[in-house]
Amino acid sequence: MKNNLKKLQLTALFSLIAFSSIFSPVYWLAPVAARNTPIKFTPPPAPPDRGAAGTRSGAASRGCSSDQPMTALVPVYEETTVQASPITKVWGLTTAKLPTFWFFVPYQKASIKTMEFVVKDETSKPSQTIYRNFVTPPSAPGIINIKLPSSVKQLQVGKTYNWFLKVKVDCNQQLPAQLEYVEGWVQRVNPNSKLVSSLSGATPQQKVALYAENSIWHDALTTLAELRLDKPKDTTLMADWNGLLKSVGLENLANQPFVR
């Protein structure tokens, strides 16, 4: 009788354990979106030697009301050479064949005479311009995007391309028009198999974190910017935007509006 009672007790115990294991939460499968820490970009190793030198922010134009200069939304790397002369490298990675570039333009539409965006392949001798186009000035100061169209030759994996945004500004009729510009570099890479696997089952918001953690700046920024354009009042997306920009020293632009 006692043996039968013990068998019944053990059976009930094992049943309870099995039931609990089925319905207990599996914490290691929690989605990226459930994280409590803000998105932070992990920078890749900077380009070697003097490669990828550029200018992330222009100078504040005379006579213009904005106290913030035109700025490319990209990471920068400050390095000192053997001669102790500092070099600013403006450089980011992408997996896109035709990536999108983002800029803060502080000028009123009436003050912009021309805007021109250029992408060059500097590995060719002589260098080859793969894209050159005049951009329609935005309707108001804010953040704009420029996407390479399908007619452009796709970026090749492993190559680094030089880009420029040039803006001719006339904020004071008593002074000559000024040419402002920002310049940087973009390199296309193939994601590794682990990242490809993670991306395949991820939501767009999870993809932002995955790209940022894997040093792929342009994809992280574009994915998050497009999410914010679709849901401008989403506080979680706004927090992610603040965190991503802050991680590359651009927190002063986090509240700037998107404009077309």
Contact (Cβ atoms closer than 8 angstroms) between residue 97 and residue 115: no
Residue 26 lies in a domain: no
Q: Cβ neighbours of residue 78 under 8 Å, at least 6 residues apart?
A: 86, 87, 88, 89
Measured on CA atoms in the order 138, 141, 147, 148, is the torsion positive or negative?
Answer: positive
pLDDT, average across residues 243-255 = 97
168-204 b/e (C-beta count within 10 Å ≥ 16 → b): bbbbeeeeeebebbbbbbbbbeebeeebeebbeebee
Per residue in 31-54, pLDDT tens?
444 456 789 999 998 776 656 789
- Domain region containing 154: 32-253
Highest-confidence segment of 12-26, 71-85, 143-157: 143-157
- Is 22 inside any structural domain? no
Neighbours of 144 (CB within 10 A): 21
Number of domains in the chain: 1
- Answer whether residue 197 is part of any domain: yes
What does the pLDDT average to over 217-222?
Answer: 98
Residue 169 lies in a domain: yes
Average pLDDT value over all residues in the chain: 84
Condensed to tens digits (0 to 9), the pLDDT of residues 159-208 reads: 999 999 999 999 887 778 889 999 999 999 999 999 999 999 999 999 99
